[in-house]
Amino acid sequence: MQDRILNKARELMFQTGVKHVTMDELANQLGISKKTIYHYFKDKDALVCSVVENELTNHELFCNQSVMAADNAVHEIFLLMSVIQEMFNRMNPLALFEIEKYYPDAYEKIKNHKDQYIFSMISTNLEKGITEGLYRKDVDVNILSKYRLETSLIPFNIQVFHPSKFDMLKVNLQIIEHFVYGVATLEGHKLMDNYKLNQSVAQL
């Protein structure tokens, strides 16, 4: 039952936004009483935290799978872009903004995930790319990892890219591509161009 509640809560929050999902609505959608929900989650804050924890766990799983399946550092980034695309396809663009504003405990989990797991993944990818000759040797891994880490949240800043005016998925992918082309060697550029071309052909 706990997993059922969690999955439905995540579905509703990603569809309509986190703030607008009430315990009453969740109970009605599941055909259970609010008392049953409160048996597993003491309040909405706890429920949002659990949804975030579950999503971060899944995100790590998908990212790790992409890393294992990648042929090289550039391919790894390209595969991760597909993970991001899938995430955006099922997520309300205001969800992260609402979590940051109204659910500080849940947002702290996201921040820790970003500062630890994502930072490590970026650093490892840069080091790998340099070793493979696909990224420039003069890249400062620590500086560029921190830079990429901070730019990862820019698409969610509605003061800069409001969802009514920008496609947040497109913004995110453009920023990632800009970063890759910025650190890549000519060989890395060619690989990225080929991956994009093959994807375009596959989508025809």
Q: What is the pLDDT along the chain (204 residues), one digit of tens a residue?
A: 999 999 999 999 988 889 889 999 999 999 999 999 999 999 999 999 999 999 999 989 989 999 999 999 999 998 888 888 777 777 776 788 899 899 999 999 999 999 999 999 999 999 999 999 999 999 999 999 999 999 988 888 888 998 889 988 899 889 999 999 999 999 999 999 998 887 765 554
Amino acid identity of residue 68, one-letter, is: M
Whether 168 maps to a domain, the answer reads yes
d(CA 49, CA 55): 10
pTM of the model: 0.88
| pLDDT for residue 200 | 63
Whether 6 maps to a domain, the answer reads no
Whether 19 maps to a domain, the answer reads no
The alpha carbon of 52 is separated from its chain's Cα centroid by a whole number of angstroms, namely: 11
What is the number of structural domains in the chain? 1
| pLDDT for residue 5 | 96
| pLDDT for residue 204 | 45
d(CA 68, CA 85): 19
Whether 125 maps to a domain, the answer reads yes
Whether 97 maps to a domain, the answer reads yes
The alpha carbon of 168 is separated from its chain's Cα centroid by a whole number of angstroms, namely: 12
| pLDDT for residue 186 | 97
Whether 99 maps to a domain, the answer reads yes
Whether 83 maps to a domain, the answer reads yes
Domain of 78, in residue numbers: 44-203
Place of tokens 């797991």: 117
- Residue pair 71/50 in contact (Cβ under 8 Å)? The answer is no
Whether 28 maps to a domain, the answer reads no
| pLDDT for residue 16 | 84
| pLDDT for residue 53 | 95
- Which CATH number do you get for residue 113? 1.10.357.10
| pLDDT for residue 201 | 53
